[in-house]
A and B are shown apart, each in its own frame.
Chain A
Amino acid sequence: GAGVSQSPRYKVAKRGQDVALRCDPISGHVSLFWYQQALGQGPEFLTYFQNEAQLDKSGLPSDRFFAERPEGSVSTLKIQRTQQEDSAVYLCASSAYRERYYGYTFGSGTRLTVV
């Protein structure tokens, strides 16, 4: 597609529920990133894929967070047993380049609210 597509745009989850957030990057983009953006803050790095390989997951806040990109295109961020502190906007970005040196194209994000 023309841009990075994320779904759903909004998700309300009850505390303890599992959620899955989807990202469709720009076709052919090698690199894919997930960020978490709390209200009033800048995006915080979660994890990075180069094709299907997860090269960096140092930003995932706990073992309840899991991301995959099995075929090197679509990626899913899964959060198990959601907590209120997980409420945030989850942004996906992709890049045609392997190096993180270059800018990214971001999706519009998924706003997750845990109640």
Chain B
Amino acid sequence: TQLLEQSPQFLSIQEGENLTVYCNSSSVFSSLQWYRQEPGEGPVLLVTVVTGGEVKKLKRLTFQFGDARKDSSLHITAAQPGDTGLYLCAGAKDDKIIFGKGTRLHILP
């Protein structure tokens, strides 16, 4: 059973479009992180959200932590080819960090 479900698994859109990817769980997390991973590299931390309902912005990326601290979303505005990559959410629970399987995003120029 996957503790963190990410959707969609794959997303291919045109440059300039907006998109949202989701990270859902039935478990409560003390914090949730989003990473981006490019081929042949390790994941790179984008953001950590801690408080239920928290919203953080990183340039064109907006991250939201659900009120109940069970889910999160990542919204990208005006996607660019440089946004291409695997987006992973990870939750801190019971002294472990658990990763979802990721959303593979491809932005077409």
Contact = CB atoms under 8 A, between A and B. Distances in A.
A112 interface: no
Nearest to B101: A42
B99 to A, nearest CB: 4
B108 interface: no
Interface stretch (A12-20, A61-69, A71-79, A100-108): A100-108
Contacts of A103: 33, 35, 45, 48
Interface stretch (B68-76, B77-85, B90-98): B90-98
A101 B49 CA distance: 10
Contacts, number: 54
A106 B90 CA distance: 13
Nearest to A43: B99
Interface in B41-95: 41-45, 48, 50, 88, 90, 92, 95
A109 interface: yes
Contacts of A91: 42-43
Interface range for B: 20 to 34
- Chain A binding surface SS class: loop
A45 B43 contact: no
B44 A106 contact: yes
Given A106-B43, A108-B42, A109-B42, A100 B99 contact: no
Interface of B: 4, 30-31, 33, 35, 40-45, 48, 50, 88, 90, 92, 95-102
Interface of A: 4, 33, 35, 40-45, 56, 91, 93, 100-109
